[in-house]
Structure 1
Amino acid sequence: MPLIRFALTLLVSLLPGLALAAAAPLQDASQLFHQGKNTQALEKVNGYLAGNAKDPQGRFLKGLILAEMNRAPEAIKTFTELTDDYPDLPEPYNNLAVLYAAQGQYEQAKNSLEKAIHTNPTYATAHENLGDIYAKMASQAYNKALQLDKSNTSAQMKLALVKDLFTPTGLEKAKPNKQPGKQHNPVKTAAVVLAKDRTPATEATPAVATKPASTEKIDSGTDQANTAVEKIIKDWAAAWSSRDVAAYLAFYAANFAPPQGMTRPAWEALRKQRLSAPEYIRVAVSDFKIQRNGNRASATFRERYESNILKVNTGKALTLELQDEVWKIVAEK
């Protein structure tokens, strides 16, 4: 699944006294950054900041460049100073959380995200990242419980469910797309620009159980195809919620690649266990972002999982392929 991610857009339009457009040197630096020319970008932004030391956009971009160059201590210092001078901006807090999480400092990451949400309760990226942090912290707690008591079956089941919902490779930042003008999914606008408003987070709508969508024929037109992909995912979540193993597995293509090198039979057996063990399961999906590329579609969305054993709110990514006019899941993260 896509995990904790950087804010690449600084929303400063609500701060009084700030300009309504980024200066040309910053635009040049941003373009160099997205081209992967980080050294030149840093030189450009440092030159700009020499005469505009307090400019939040320039400092924000500098923090992003330093993070991309793996100069985490300097990036942390840059974003921390930005939060000191502009405590009402949530994005620097969010990016501090990303940097802390990359170092395994999850408590500091959680605190930074809570500050981001306090400054702007509708900041969806921070809410999403906080869910990922909670999932990682839960995983650590269950591991510790098992170290103390290896026979703790409850902790074993909860840890297995967290690992199933959470990528095994740990927290990692979403890197900006190197091609100017193109967006790297699931990160929002990859530029240091001003925004006119802050978009409220969308509430998840629980999936309603229906007949398996894997039997439905769809039109390949972009809008209709995106609608069909979203419907497939909602029906997949509904099958999961109803713990209908056969219907759930029917959404996966024959060429689906199970994670961690598992065989298909072993993966199906594990999924059957995960669907059958809880007394109930509720899965809600929302906030879809779908990109088409020929007969393939990449979808990222929020996944809210709840059972009598575990409750997790995190990000999810599925790759689907159009096979015989039916969308099938071929990969998931």
Structure 2
Amino acid sequence: MRHSITNACAAIILSIGLLPLAHADDASDASKLYKAGQLNEAIKKIDAVLSQRPKDAQMRFLKGIILTEQNKPAEAITIFSKLTDDYPELPEPYNNLAVLYASNGQYLKASAALEMAIRTNPTYGTAHENLGDVYAKLASQSYDKALQLDSGNSTAKLKLNLVKNLIGNTTGGTNPKTVSNNPAPIASIPNTQTVAATPPAKVSEPKATPAAPSKPTVVSNDKENVLDTVESWAKAWSAQNVSKYLNYYAKDFQTPKGESRNAWAEDRRSRIEGKGKIGVRIDDPHVSIDGNVATVKFKQYYTSDRLSSASRKTLVLSKQDGKWLIKQERSGS
């Protein structure tokens, strides 16, 4: 597959042209060193640039790719994770983050990152294909486990064979391939020249009809936005992306025990980060909106390495600067 997770080297092919452009000379020098295979020298050049411009997205992105090629996945994950925090509108860092997670067999984290990439840019074909591969790997593992528990399950065996043929994996999903140390050339640095920055493609808005939109349409759109916010909140939690998770809470969030928001945030960080696998799923959400306040009631399914639970949850969100943010969070009916 051209961009498959199981052939992860292809998934590194991205367009840095969508990222904020570094100074032309710096980008050209770094790309020349990279193309020449002088990876350590390229890193030194990039670090020199970042010491002056620490937010330079293109330099950080290229550094992440080089670290991946140097088989330093932990450092590369840190680079791409921080890029998603600083530039949440860009899908490419999410995709590369997913490739690294998948190479370590962390398919749930990979799927969450790819879903964020697609939410950011629904037309990003690479992320769609990679997400399909991740789902196939998860399915392969589940069918393999079913056969371990019941070797006579012919239906599971048939499905497993279909999935293995689809993803080209003869191990039943138990030995995922790692990221290649020889990724294909990066599309955004052809030869040794930098690519001019281009704005991300935007979905064209449909032309307005002569009649003004009715109030129910506005409410419907608000409900969709509220649900999107809640689903993204759950996915950030599942991915243990604490910075993104906390950004869904308003500055005037009413903490459960009346502590300061900073103290509450630090407690949440300690409970989420480094806790192994976490999965958060919402089911049967009900949304009611009154002006700029929305109330969402749903059933929350939480799983981790040590705990599985199902509970009723209520989130109260307020619309601030065009965004829906969580003001209250309650458990129970």
- TM-score normalised to structure 2 length: 0.52
User: How many Å separate the matches in 1 of 2:126 and 2:24?
Assistant: 26
**Percent identity at matched positions?**
49
Which amino acid is 2:79 matched to?
Answer: T
Aligned partner of 1:10 in structure 2 is 16
| CA distances 1:242-298 after superposition (whole Å, capped 9, x unpaired) | xxxxxxxxxxxxxxxxxxxxxxxxxxxxxxxxxxxxxxxxxxxxxxxxxxxxxxxxx
| CA distances 1:206-238 after superposition (whole Å, capped 9, x unpaired) | xxxxxxxxxxxxxxxxxxxxxxxxxxxxxxxxx
| Within-5 A mapping of 1:114-125 | 114-125=115-126
Shift of 1:115: 0.3
Aligned partner of 2:114 in structure 1 is 113
Partner SS, residue 18 of structure 2: coil
| Within-5 A mapping of 1:270-289 | none
User: How many Å separate the matches in 1 of 2:43 and 2:90?
Assistant: 22
Instruction: Verify the 8 A CA contact 1:11 1:89 in the aligned structure 2.
Output: no
Instruction: Verify the 8 A CA contact 1:97 1:108 in the aligned structure 2.
Output: yes
**Distance change >3 Å, CA 173–CA 67, structure 1 → 2:** same
| Within-5 A mapping of 1:94-243 | 94-168=95-169, 170-173=176-179, 184=185, 188-189=187-188, 193-196=195-198
Which amino acid is 1:196 matched to?
Answer: T
| CA distances 1:49-85 after superposition (whole Å, capped 9, x unpaired) | 1111111111111111111111111110111111111
User: How many Å separate the matches in 2 of 1:193 and 1:95?
Assistant: 20
Unaligned runs of 5+ in 2: 6-10, 170-174, 204-333
Aligned partner of 1:46 in structure 2 is 47
Shift of 1:105: 0.3
User: How many Å separate the matches in 2 of 1:72 and 1:110?
Assistant: 17
| CA distances 1:166-207 after superposition (whole Å, capped 9, x unpaired) | 122744446666xxxxx75xx744567445365799xxxxxx
**Distance change >3 Å, CA 112–CA 194, structure 1 → 2:** farther
Shift of 1:100: 0.3
**Distance change >3 Å, CA 129–CA 190, structure 1 → 2:** farther
User: How many Å separate the matches in 1 of 2:127 and 2:180?
Assistant: 14
Unaligned runs of 5+ in 1: 178-182, 202-333
Partner SS, residue 108 of structure 1: helix
What RMSD over aligned residues (CA atoms) do the two structures have, in Å? 2.6
Partner SS, residue 110 of structure 2: helix
Higher relative contact order (CA 8 A, sep 6+): 1
User: How many Å separate the matches in 1 of 2:200 and 2:49?
Assistant: 27
Instruction: Verify the 8 A CA contact 1:113 1:129 in the aligned structure 2.
Output: yes
Number of positions where the alignment pairs a residue of Structure 1 with one of Structure 2: 189
